[in-house]
Amino acid sequence: MCDEKEIQAAFDVAVELVKKCNEIVSEGFRTASKRVEVKGKHWDLVTEYDQRVEDVLIAGLRQHFPHHKFCAEEASFASGAALTLGPEPTWIIDPIDGTVNFVRGVPFTCISVALAVNGEIQLAIIANPTANELYTAIRGQGSFLNGSRITTRGTEVLKEALVGHEFSIGSYKPIRAALFERGQRFITECVGLRAFGSAALTLAYIASGQIDVYSIQFLKPWDIAAGALLIQEAGGTVINITGGKYDIMKPDIIAASSEPLAQRVLQIIREVEEDLRQAKPT
């Protein structure tokens, strides 16, 4: 088990390790000749920098907290093991979220680190070294950007909202029709749509008030774990994309700057799902 003292110590160690890894990401970002591999689908890329960052984080954390477990993107992919989350302190790590951006030199990429205890996220760190941004949160203590307190905009109506909507997820055929139809309905009502190519950063942008709402499916726990806590600690809300409490290990979510905004997006998602169901030939 983790008490408050250990959680604070874990946070302090993790922040220093992330800062160290920022140098690795920055080095790779500036390097044109990255070694890039495809993990599965053609859009799912990995570089040597992903592995270097993950290795530094896991080794450093394990040195200080040998009893902690790890759920990390590259290690999980390599082992093929089923993803589980028990009561033990477990680090959930995405060494480079937004790898396609990283490879192409697009400055929307980040390191994402979270610690779960008893299945609940207790601390979160998201760092984008290309923009000198360090987002942090400890449960019950608020969210911060580079040491300054941040809050969501508190937007409650969709017509005043800037919406994160990742059309590229439509590469996955089962979600394509619903994703595109949701986008059409959002844009008729909202201020605008934005796609950043990094789920973790998009969630951080909700926490800091840069955008207002984001719905996403078919990701992994490390894509959303840290960002979800940032939003909650910044006064926002995170729910399952079908309504109700979200599950870290099944990260299909609506994240919003307020509960009313999340419910409006949920209503649209349900309407689209019903319309597509009725449109199917019988």
Q: Which of 149, 171, 206 is the last residue of a domain?
A: 149
- CATH number for the domain harbouring residue 240: 3.40.190.80
Judgement on whether residues 104 and 220 belong to the same structural domain of the protein:
no
Residue 187 is given by DSSP the state H
Q: Which of 149, 179, 204 is the last residue of a domain?
A: 149
% of the chain beyond a pLDDT of 70: 90
Judgement on whether residues 19 and 138 belong to the same structural domain of the protein:
yes
**Beta strand 253-256 pairing with 213-216:** antiparallel
Number of domains in the chain: 2
The pLDDT assigned to 214 comes to: 98
Judgement on whether residues 81 and 34 belong to the same structural domain of the protein:
yes
Q: How far apart are CA 145 and CA 153, in angstroms?
A: 15
Judgement on whether residues 119 and 244 belong to the same structural domain of the protein:
no
Residue 247 is given by DSSP the state B
Judgement on whether residues 141 and 168 belong to the same structural domain of the protein:
no
Confidence at 166, pLDDT banded by 50, 70, 90: very high
Q: Which residues contact 219 (CB under 8 A, 6 or more apart)?
A: 199, 251, 252
**Mind listing the pLDDT tens digit for each residue in 176-203?**
999 999 999 999 999 999 999 999 999 9
- CATH number for the domain harbouring residue 32: 3.30.540.10
Judgement on whether residues 208 and 259 belong to the same structural domain of the protein:
yes
Judged by DSSP in three states, 25 sits in helix
Judgement on whether residues 28 and 138 belong to the same structural domain of the protein:
yes
**Mind listing the pLDDT tens digit for each residue in 11-68?**
999 999 999 999 999 988 887 666 666 655 544 556 788 889 999 999 999 999 999 9
Residue with tokens 């969630």: 203
- Please report how the helices 221-233 and 199-207 are oriented relative to each other, as an axis angle in degrees rounded to 10: 0
The first and second tokens of residue 34, run together, are: 């990255």
The pLDDT assigned to 77 comes to: 43
Residue scoring higher pLDDT (229 or 168): 229
73 is in an annotated binding site: yes
Amino acid present at 272: V
Residue among 47, 51, 45 nearest 21 (CA) = 51
Domain hosting residue 267, numbered range: 158-279
Judgement on whether residues 225 and 205 belong to the same structural domain of the protein:
yes
Judgement on whether residues 119 and 170 belong to the same structural domain of the protein:
no
94 is in an annotated binding site: yes
Q: Which of 149, 172, 204 is the last residue of a domain?
A: 149
Q: How far apart are CA 233 and CA 72, in angstroms?
A: 23
223 is in an annotated binding site: yes
The pLDDT assigned to 175 comes to: 87
Residue among 86, 98, 8, 121 nearest 44 (CA) = 98
Judgement on whether residues 184 and 202 belong to the same structural domain of the protein:
yes
96 is in an annotated binding site: yes
Q: What pTM, to 2 d.p., does this model score?
A: 0.93
Judgement on whether residues 103 and 188 belong to the same structural domain of the protein:
no
Judgement on whether residues 118 and 15 belong to the same structural domain of the protein:
yes
Average pLDDT, the chain: 91
